[in-house]
Structure formats: C-alpha cells, structure tokens
Structure 1
C-alpha cells in the first residue's frame, strides 16, 4: 500500500497506512504448535534438504495456532545473515503473539554455531521489548533437528 500525500498550508502530510488481516488459502500440516518435536520434524521435510541456508519464521496467535509461515531469508552454503527487524516486521504484520524461527544446515550437522546462539539471544531480547515471545529456534538437517531451547542454549 502506498500512503497518500497531501499538501496543507505548504506542509506535506502523509496519511497513515491501515493494516488488515488477510487469510491465506494454503493450509499447513500443523495448525497448532504443541511441541518443538512436532515442528522440528515438519521443518525437516519443509527446509531440511535445501542446498543453501533458509531462515523460516512461524507466527503464532495466543492459542499457539500458526497464523503465518514464511522464508525470511535465503543465505549461502553455510550462513544466513538476517536482521531481527526483518523477522519482527513480519511478526507484527501477522499480528503474532509468539514466534518460532528455524533454519537449515545444508551440511546436516545441526550443532548450533556461535552466531546461531548470539542471533537467538538477540531475538529473545528484541522479542521481550516488542512483547512477542520467541518460543524456539530450531536447526534442521536432512534427517534430524535440534531445538536450542530444549538443548539449553537459552539465556
């Protein structure tokens, strides 16, 4: 949407853009998040076999129902550089109460890098400020996944 610009007494005034919820036609195999196990196994199938790192976002409402799923960033063979603002921009537009993020490791080794851990901690802090809780960060390979929350990487 493009904001409308009007001139008033030689001053530029910009209208505020109104946001509306849009319901997608495509359904996901998981409607409600009950566990990282369930989400991790689904994401193995969804992004686990990509040859480049893909950072995915799941937005949830107050009942942990998935309201939005998207690939936020596509990186290289061994890194995906995304900024928290890209993630939270989509979360806000999706009216998310909570989020989960995930990315794949094309190598298949789901051990988190130091960058993965630092990025997760930045998202936790940003989410606290925004009022949007990060539930988990899941790293997936072709055959397995790792939940940073379950493995104790949370600060």
Structure 2
C-alpha cells in the first residue's frame, strides 16, 4: 500500500525559481539573485539593507511600506521585486535631495507629524506622491488621499498640517 499523504506532500511543494533581477533604487543599480516570490519590501530590507521602508501588516492595509515606483506610490509588500526591474524605485532613504531634507520631512518635524515614528517613512512617501499628483488642495483632500496610511498613535491632525505646509511652500516640486 502506498502512502498517499507522503506522495501528495512531495508533489505539492512548489519549485523554487530564482532569477537575476536588477533593481534601480535611489538612482543606484543593484543586481540580485532572488526567488521570484520575493516582495520588493523584503528585497529592500533583507537584501539591500534599506530598513527605512517598514514592514507593518505585510498585507497592504497599513501603508508603512510605501515606496515610489517610477514616481507613483506603491505598497512594497504587495509588489514582487521582479515587477520592479527596469523601473526607478525611490525609498525614504532616497527622497531627500543633496541639499538636505525633503520639504515634507522638514514639515513633519516642525508639526510633530510623528510620535512613535514607525509609520512615518510610509506617511512621508505618500505625502510626497500626493503633492506631486496635485492632491493637496484641502485638508479633506489630504485626508482622503492619505487614508491608506495608518498611524497607530493618531498623529493625523499633525500629519495633515505638515502636508498642508509643505504643499503651500512648493514642496510638490521636489522629490519625484
């Protein structure tokens, strides 16, 4: 008699498929051999050491892992690293220019737009993108387009104030 359960376990194991992927992160190319199932978030954090992008829920619900892919915000936990090949990836480590902080980063500091700081990189990356998209017209609009980024500490009024200030000072022209 054949052990069907053992045979089924062997047959259902997925084959691990690796490929060489070149990711351009913050303007620098990085060539990596990755399992095709590796997320962009895990490649950034575990393979490239860019730990500013946070792993919050790992299900696309909190926004802590927000990065820019060709200037558009994406959730790195829901994006496969292989999908980002040949595209420009910007992380929180690369959002500021050579002249220092991005205007959104400065405004977050001035308005105390963070408490524990865990969500702050994702909040900043989303704020930079929403300003570039021209969606910082009113507080209600800012709240709507930042609604995918959660803050467990409840710093939302300060985050909105920071974005409003950065947008009013022309911060939408920088960073993307």
More strand by share: 1
Normalising by structure 2, we get a TM-score of 0.26
Q: Which has the larger radius of gyration?
A: 2
Normalising by structure 1, we get a TM-score of 0.28
